[in-house]
Structure 1
Amino acid sequence: MRIALTYDKERNLKPLEESEIIAIIDEEKREVEQYENPAYAMSKEATMAAILELEPEAIIVKNQFLCPGSYMMSYGRIKYIPTTYNTLDEILEHLEEVKKGIREDLDEEMYAEAYPE
């Protein structure tokens, strides 16, 4: 399986537009491919477009890593793997456990825009 995830240079998982690096965990090749995010500091949709070009089967996400636009762009094209882990190293260490959470869709609070109260 090819699993996408987004993080910064310190390997901390980040929302799409805050990620400096887009990575693909390629289980078949047993490697992590890393790409500079061409949409860094632009938008979640622009980052999702770059991710979809890499043809992952799933993406690892946390609350509000996606937005309604990036979710709709990817819905039906890739699966989602929600996680509570915070770094690439934690994901790699617990990958089999993390993969058990794979799903076709996300609850709305996972991708809804944050509104200040």
Structure 2
Amino acid sequence: MKIAVTYNKEQQLRPLEEAEIIGIIDDEKKVVEQYENPAYNMSKEATMSVILDIGADAIVVKNQFLCPGSYMMSYGRLKYIQTQYNSLQEVLEHLNELKSAATEELNEEVYAEAYPE
């Protein structure tokens, strides 16, 4: 399984458009391939397009990492792995438990846009 993770240069997990790096964890080869995100600071949809082009099977997400557009682009094409972890290292340390929780769909609050209160 190839699992996409979006993060910054300090390897802290970031929403799609804030991610400087797209990591692809290849759990069979036990390696993380890193790609510079060409859609950095553009949009969540642009980053999702890159992830889909790379050929990921799943993506690690936290609340508001996706938006309705990027979710609909990936729905049916990726599995979603929700996490409360904040760094690539934590994801790697807990990869087996995270993989076992992969789902085909997300609750709307996970991909809903943030609205100022």
- Relative to the length of structure 1, the TM-score reads 0.98
- CA deviation digits over 1:29-74, x for unaligned, max 9? 1100000000000000000000000111100000000000000000
1:16-95 matches, within 5 Å, as 16-95=16-95
- Counting aligned pairs with the same residue, the percent is 70
User: What secondary structure, in the 3-state scheme, does the structure 2 residue paired with 1:104 have?
Assistant: coil
Cα shift at 1:97 = 1.1
User: What secondary structure, in the 3-state scheme, does the structure 2 residue paired with 1:97 have?
Assistant: helix
Q: Distance in 1 between matches of 2:67 and 2:18?
A: 13
* Equivalent residue number for residue 10 of structure 1: 10
- Relative to the length of structure 2, the TM-score reads 0.98
1:90-109 matches, within 5 Å, as 90-109=90-109
RMSD of aligned residue pairs (Cα, Å): 0.5
**Count, aligned residues:** 117
Q: Distance in 1 between matches of 2:62 and 2:101?
A: 12
Q: Distance in 1 between matches of 2:27 and 2:114?
A: 33
User: What secondary structure, in the 3-state scheme, does the structure 2 residue paired with 1:34 have?
Assistant: strand
Cα shift at 1:114 = 1.0
